[in-house]
Amino acid sequence: MIRVEGLRKSFQTRTGRVQAVDGVSFVAADGQITGLLGPNGAGKTTTLRMLYTLMSPDSGRVLVDGLDAASEPTRVRACLGVLPDARGIYKRLTARENIAYFGALHGLDARLIAERTERVVSALEMRDFIDRRAEGFSQGQRTKTAIARALVHAPRNVLLDEPTNGLDVMTTRSLRNFLLEQRAAGRCMLLSSHIMQEVARLCDRIVVIAHGHVVADGTPDELRESTGCANLEDAFVKAIGSDEGLFA
């Protein structure tokens, strides 16, 4: 379970300070898929980066399975599986070696890594490229490899930054089924997206972020109810206050 309380983060840029995240709080429960929805530049990636301790918040705190990310960053990272915005994989290694490297860094032994890799290879349909070097992989193949390496240590909590970004329909379908399986296994899944349809389809709970604030938080039904719109799309537009970036 992931609990986020009053996160704030600002950056110094050439033109002045930018408040990227301005008081974000939410809870992502186990056995659920929680969606972090917002237009581009709303603060989703920065929020996730604070969750996996790449950045430290100016104020507020992050609890992962009850562990404070500020005081125990290593243990927090150990119980997280992360697909960051940056999907880089090592192009001179095969997909299998990429996955094994991260498994080993999480302290898994070779036998367990092989077993887990086998499972994820069939779940994500990676059979035809698993032993090829990553040089020249398609975007879908790269994303699948990155997801596989993020989950090889079977983390209790999974963070996915825009997981379907740039994927074709077939790949998106297999990824979606995979995420639903993970949910069924009782994991806490948190994914960010700027695509409303995707979030509506997958998520049990939706946290809408705009300009660094949480502007709505609830199940899809609750969102429709609170905004008074029968249609989810209208509900989002109303929650965000504009339709910028939602359909990019």
Partner 1 sequence: MRALWIILRKELLDAFRDRRMLLVAFVVIPLAIPLVLAGTNALSARKQTRQLEGPLELPVIGAERAPNLVAWLQSHNVKVLPAPRDADAAVRTQERDVVLRIDEKYGEDWRSGRPASVEVIFDSSRPLASGATVARLGGLLDGYSSTVGTLRLVARGIHPAVANPLQVGTRDVATPEARFDLSQQILPYLLLLLAFIGGLQLAVDATAGERERQSLEPLLATPVARESIISAKILATAVFSLLSIAVTLIAYRLVFAVVPARGMDASFNLGPGGLLQLFLIILPIVLLGATVLTALAAFARSYREAQGYLPLLMFLPMIPSLVLMVAPVRTQLWMLAVPFLSQNQMIVRVLRSERISALDWAVSLGASFAVVGVVWWIAARLYHREQLATSS
The residues near 75 (Cβ < 8 Å, ≥ 6 apart) are: 67
State the number of binding residues for partner 1 (CB under 8 A).
Answer: 34
| Cα 148 to Cα 203: distance, rounded to the nearest angstrom | 21
- The answer to the question of residue 183 lying near partner 1 (CB under 8 A) is no
Single out the residue of 13, 71, 86, 136 in contact with partner 1 (rule: CB under 8 A): 86
How far apart CA 235 and CA 241 sit, in angstroms, is 10
Residues 119-178 that bind partner 1 (CB under 8 A): 133, 146, 149-150
- Return the number of the residue (100 or 207) whose C-beta is nearest partner 1: 100
Does position 33 interact with partner 1 (CB under 8 A)? The reply is: no
CA 232 to chain centre: 21
Selected binder of partner 1 within 26, 39, 87, 160 (CB under 8 A): 87
Provide the token pair at 102.
């991260």
- 90 sits near partner 1 (criterion: CB under 8 A): yes
- Determine the Cα–Cα distance for residues 243 and 31; give it in Å rounded to an integer: 31
Q: Does 71 bind partner 1 (CB under 8 A)?
A: no
Of 132, 52, 125, the residue nearest 85 (C-alpha):
52
Regarding 101 and contact with partner 1 (CB under 8 A), the answer is yes
63 touches partner 1 (CB under 8 A): no
Tokens standing for residue 31: 């056995």
Residues at the site binding partner 1, with contacts judged by CB under 8 A: 49, 52-56, 74-75, 77-78, 80, 82-93, 97, 101-102, 104-107, 133, 146, 149-150
